[in-house]
Amino acid sequence: MSDLTSEWLWIVILAFIISFFLAFGIGANDVANAFGTSVGSKVISLLWACILASIFEVLGAVLIGYRVSDTIRKGIIDPMQYNNSEKLLAMGNLSALTGSCIWMFIATLFRLPVSATHSIVGATVGFSLVAKGTRGVSWEKLGFIVGSWFFSPVMSGIMSALLFLFVRKMVLNKEKPLEPGLTLLPLFYAFTVCINALSVFLDGSELLHFNKIPLYGSFILSIGLALIVGVLVRYLVVPWMRRKIIAEITFQVKAEENKCLEAEDEDADKEERKISRAENKKILDLFSRLRRKRKSITLKEADGECTKSLNENGAALDGERHWNSNGNGVAGRDVQLMLLNTEINETASAGNSTTLLVAKPEVEIVEAEVEVVGSNDRKHLSRELIKDKPETKMLFSFLQILTAIFGSFAHGGNDVSNAIGPLIGVWMIYNEGSVAQKAPTPIWILIYGGAGISIGLWVLGRRVIKTMGEDLSKITPSSGFCIEIGAATTVLVASYFALPISTTHCKVGSIIFTGRVRSNENVDWSLFRNIFIAWVVTLPASGALSALMMFLLEQFAL
């Protein structure tokens, strides 16, 4: 090691510290969201979610992360521009890490949904503009990367939407969806394993000697692994899931029947009985926002045994009373509730009074595509009525474990590189004493980045794990499965082509496309606008912070 590099050992130390904090922040947010749905639906415990996420984040970083890290440190800028200026390039990478880290913390403080990918790319451009001006940036490569940010959400969205259409036709729209769903389960698992295996074996890591595997060998290995997994799922997992789901559904039906019988025994004289306050209040709150000219709306439940009429608090009424809306509606317009594949029907309409027949609690409103004609609040009603049948909900809830692991692996392969790309540049310049950086990405640094993300998950992610996407669009287990598969597949494809794209924005694209396919009113476009603005602002903001840091280092440390 030369005396020259010994003089700026402090740069290496700071780069390791800051990159760890950046990885820590990514782990506390992105990874927590990936497993949030599985934990929230009680399919997997919080402990096992953290264990699986830690394992597959590190595996993704080690097996495929080197491609994207090479792009971060050598694709956006030309390192040879800094020949004989090694310390300047090292300070530039330190500035990029600092600018990106500061912006990520600012964005988190203001709850802006920004991308670590966009942040690190912008920060890299920022320091290069200060150090070398416009000639220091590979504008063609940068344009290709930025273009991929617009293309990737669309690609992810299309994949998720097509998969959802397939799932809806083959499973959701069936009268008895359990068996069709179980039949497709081995296919879903095999497809997921095949995509992951291809991403590892195709032009694989030099350090692991996967690059020596020929093209046909990669396909044989990937398809072979997929077939083995498919067979195991077919003969081991499917019978177990069939027994578990049938037992759970039987228990739910019996519990509901007992509840109805108990209610009838307690108040045999009443024609109406009390039903779930939470369920009915949810519907009543929606109707209260419709603010119609009609004077009253009666909600009744029809289950062949019990009929109910509710007041505003969701309580049963003794006589023929109605819930009053008292709103300013649009004169001359009828309240038209058009529901496809549901158990809700308009049973009577006289003057300004409307009576709705509501399905019994154990009958789910499936694939409800809702339009309340003339209402400004129809999207709220649409979201509330979008549910899966109990058996499909349970089936796809178990699939969420698969998609969470898939997403975690893809996230590790792409987003870990955002945190440690500049760090690798600093280390290799320091270790080799040259800006050429000819050696492959060291595995131990990839593991370091993966460990930072995992620690962030364990320390803070455990507290912030929650279901992602409820605000942007209503997500059920079936649509969530399609969203995760589409997004993770897109990220893996991008990682293969060494493109640093955003996992978050791929997921946003999938949520929007799937939401539009499921229901025209099932997307919050105002929230999407805010996400898009934050997306556009991130690159110049992190670039400006990095440029400022580079300017200060040039003035006081060079």
Contact 383, 365 (CB under 8 A): no
Report pLDDT for 172. 86
DSSP string, 147-172: HHHHHHHHHHHHHHHHHHHHHIIIII
CB atoms under 10 Å from CB of 265, counted, come to 8
Distances (CA, A) of 225 to 392, 405, 441: 27, 16, 27
Report pLDDT for 137. 85
Which two three-digit tokens encode residue 166? 């397939």
Report pLDDT for 263. 61
Report pLDDT for 464. 54
User: Helices 503-518 and 477-496, interaxial angle, to 10°?
Assistant: 140
Which two three-digit tokens encode residue 353? 């009074």
Taking the chain (558 residues) in runs of 10, the rounded mean pLDDT of each run is 65 92 80 67 78 88 76 77 84 92 80 75 91 84 82 90 92 87 92 86 76 88 94 93 86 75 58 48 50 43 40 37 35 32 41 45 36 43 55 79 83 78 87 74 86 85 53 70 86 81 80 80 66 80 94 86
Report pLDDT for 62. 83
Report pLDDT for 453. 86
Task: Give every CB contact of residue 431 below 8 A, 6+ residues apart in sequence.
Answer: 1
Which two three-digit tokens encode residue 203? 């032009």
Give the residue among 477, 446, 422 at the shortest CA–CA distance from 19: 422
Residue with tokens 């670590």: 116
Q: How many residues does the chain have?
A: 558
3-state secondary structure 223-288: HHHHHHHHHHHHHHHHHHHHHHHHHHHHHHHHHHHHHHHHHHHHCCCCCCCCCCHHHHHHHHHHHH
Report pLDDT for 339. 32
What are the pLDDT digits (tens) for 455-481? 888 887 766 554 344 455 567 778 888
Q: Is the pTM of this model over 0.75?
A: no
